[in-house]
Amino acid sequence: MIKGFFSFHTKRLLSTNKAFHDGLRKITGLFPGNEELYKLAFIHKSASLRLPDGLVINNERLEFLGDAILDAVVAEYLYLKFPDQKEGFLTQTRSKIVNGQSLGELAMILGLDKFIVSHAHNFSKNKHILGDAFEALIGAIYLDHGYKAVKKFVFKQLMSKHIDINMVLKTETNYKSRLIEWAQKYKKDITFKTNQESSEGLNPEFISLVILNDKVIAKGKGLSKKEAEQNAAQASLKVLI
């Protein structure tokens, strides 16, 4: 891991390593090994640091990794908790838990906003930045302690204490309606182009493209036309909002 990059002057950094270390331990229930790895998880791209060799660093790579690991862990949790439910239910429920809005709210509950280094305006209320930092934290935990530690954190700290699964099941996440409302509000021309992909399998996928003013801005896949369009709409909202 990168050594000493936090010697750069950044106003938002915690004044002592002990405060940062203790805060992370309280939130995750784990002892941070590579502390700089966790600090990197909270550097938003707007506050990217440039190393002497020209390398620019921020939390985007950790966010990418954490997103994939979190999907896997939450999928395992739901698979075990709902042994009689089908794939569609599990996919929809996971989406409700790991979508950007939910992760942003969870980041606020955990107090991750205190650690984030960002030059973005009013970032502490930006659910996207908060959610990205949460995913980056997952990536840091994975690299520092491994999959089992992430699983322990998600199962025992998050799902048991902070996520009401019954409330999640009742929550509606109609991204397509939200996208259409956004388009109407700002007088934008939004259309969906959805086709079934050719496949020899029993469950061929649909792929949906979201077109804004004759330009494709996002796409989504699903086992039904509705699922594909919802996923495409969700991806679009991440780009637009």
| d(C-alpha 191, C-alpha 213), whole Å | 9
Give which of 93, 155, 153, 111 is closest to 23, Cα–Cα. 111
Give yes or no: 76 in active site. Answer: no
| d(C-alpha 156, C-alpha 98), whole Å | 16
| d(C-alpha 54, C-alpha 205), whole Å | 43
CA 34 to chain centre: 22
- DSSP assignment of 112-151: GGGT-B--STTGGG-HHHHHHHHHHHHHHHHHHH-HHHHH
Q: Please report, as a single letter, which amino acid is at residue 155.
A: F
Task: Give the contacts of 232 (CB within 8 A, at least 6 positions apart).
Answer: 192, 194, 208, 209, 210, 218, 219, 220
The pair of three-digit structure tokens given for residue 233, joined into one six-digit string:
């709409």
Give yes or no: 87 in active site. Answer: no
The residue from 63, 67, 144, 227 that is catalytic is 67
| d(C-alpha 185, C-alpha 188), whole Å | 8
| d(C-alpha 134, C-alpha 113), whole Å | 10
* Local structure of residue 192 (DSSP, 8 states): E
The residue from 113, 132, 135, 227 that is catalytic is 135
The pair of three-digit structure tokens given for residue 223, joined into one six-digit string:
């086992």
Helix (H, G, I), strand (E, B) or coil at 153: helix
Report the catalytic residues: 67, 135
